[in-house]
Amino acid sequence: MQKDTPFKFPNKLVNQIDEFSDGFFLVVINTEGEFEVFQTLDSPVKSMAMHNFLQIYTNNIHAAMQDTMGQSANPPTGNEDGQDDQDDKD
C-alpha cells in the first residue's frame, strides 16, 4: 500500500515567477486544505503598494459577493416602482 505524499508547491516555479517579475504575492491552498503564501517584494514601497492593492481588490470582491448574496436572498417582489401596494389604492 502506497502512502499519499501531500503536494508541495514547487520552489522552482516560485523562483521562476520571481525571476520574471518585479515582485509577487501568491496564495495557494495545498492538498491538506491549508493556505500557503509566497511573496517577493524587494522594497518597502513595493510591499506597501502590493498590500494596498490586495486590500482594495479584496474589498471589491467582498462587496460583489455581498451584492450577489443579497440579490439571491431578496428575490424581486414584482413591485418595480419601489412603492407599497397600499399607496396604489389611495
Predicted pLDDT of residue 5? 78
Interval 19-35 mean pLDDT: 92
Predicted pLDDT of residue 35? 93
2 or 54, which is more confident: 54
Q: Find the helix or strand (DSSP H, E) in which 28 lies.
A: strand 24-29
In this structure, the chain runs to a length of 90
Convert the pLDDT of each residue in 50-77 to its tens digit.
999 999 999 999 999 988 887 766 666 6
Q: Quote the pTM value.
A: 0.62
Judge contact between 39 and 25, C-beta under 8 A: yes
Quickly count helices (H) and strands (E) in the chain: 3, 2
